[in-house]
Amino acid sequence: MTRKQKIYNHYLQLVHDKITYLQKVLADLKESGANETKSTAGDKHETALAMLQIEQANVRAQLKEVQGQLAMLQKINPSLSTIGIVHGSLVKTDKGYLFLSIAAGKMNFEGQTVFAISPQSPLGQQLLQAGNGRSVIINSTSYIIENIE
């Protein structure tokens, strides 16, 4: 398995874990709501029920966003190797690796820093226009592209 495939699998597992967690939170909130309907405490009951409904809506929104990230990740073929930088590229720079996929943050992989960034981010957009050996500058920080996987 290549470095790119391992990194892809890590972020894929991370997204699957988030989905599982959010689904459990949503189920717990639904159960709390069901238990709350059994109460007859008047205004206090209605306020608690409204708060639960707001929390459920927030969790549903988070779940929808993470499911969108999963869909974006699943469009990537981690075994595909390209000359240019495209969605799904693993770009080695002088500052570490940039995985052009979803905005999923930083990880440490075999002693190297890897950032999963969105192609829509300012850095992602500049990388898509750059090539091997070139550099891009974001917020006064220069990234020299050393390799593309």
Its domain, for residue 107, covers 90-148
What is the side-by-side strand order in the sheet with 96-100? 105-109, 112-117, 96-100, 90-93, 141-148, 135-138
Could you tell me if residue 109 is inside a domain? yes
- What is the mean predicted confidence (pLDDT) over 126-132? 86
pLDDT digits (tens, 9 = 90+) for 42-92: 566 678 788 888 999 999 999 999 999 999 999 999 998 888 899 999 999
* Model pTM score: 0.85
Do 15 and 65 fall within a single domain?
Answer: yes
Neighbours of 78 (CB within 10 A): 22
Point out the domain boundary residue: 13, 39, 74: 74
Band (pLDDT 50/70/90 cuts) for residue 37 is low
Do 70 and 98 fall within a single domain?
Answer: no
Could you tell me if residue 112 is inside a domain? yes
| Domain count along the chain | 2
Could you tell me if residue 114 is inside a domain? yes
Could you tell me if residue 83 is inside a domain? no
Strand pairing class (96-100; 105-109): unpaired
